[in-house]
Amino acid sequence: MVVETDLSDGDVDRIFHALAAATRRDILRRTIEDEQSVSALAREYDMSFAAVQKHVAVLESAGLVVKRAEGRERLVRADPTMIARARALLARYEEMWRSRISRLDALLAAESKAPGSAADAASDTAENPNEKDD
97, part of any domain: yes
Examine the pLDDT at 126 and tell me if it is beyond 70: no
pLDDT at 124: 58
24, part of any domain: yes
133, part of any domain: no
Percent of the chain having pLDDT more than 70? 83
Q: Domain containing 62: what range?
A: 1-114
Report the phi/psi class of residue 37: left, alpha or beta, with left for phi > 0 and alpha for psi in -120 to 50: beta
Number of domains the chain contains: 1
Residue range 50-70: average pLDDT? 97
* DSSP tag of 66: E
Q: What is the pLDDT of residues 69-123, one digit of tens each?
A: 999 999 999 999 999 999 999 999 999 999 999 999 999 998 888 777 655 555 5
Average pLDDT taken over every residue of the chain: 87
Higher pLDDT, 116 or 50: 50
Q: Quick check: 24 and 65 in contact, CB under 8 A?
A: no
pLDDT at 53: 97
Residue range 10-29: average pLDDT? 96
31, part of any domain: yes
78, part of any domain: yes
124, part of any domain: no
88, part of any domain: yes
For 67, the 3-state DSSP assignment is strand
33, part of any domain: yes
Q: What is the pTM of this model?
A: 0.71
Tell me the CATH number at 83. 1.10.10.10
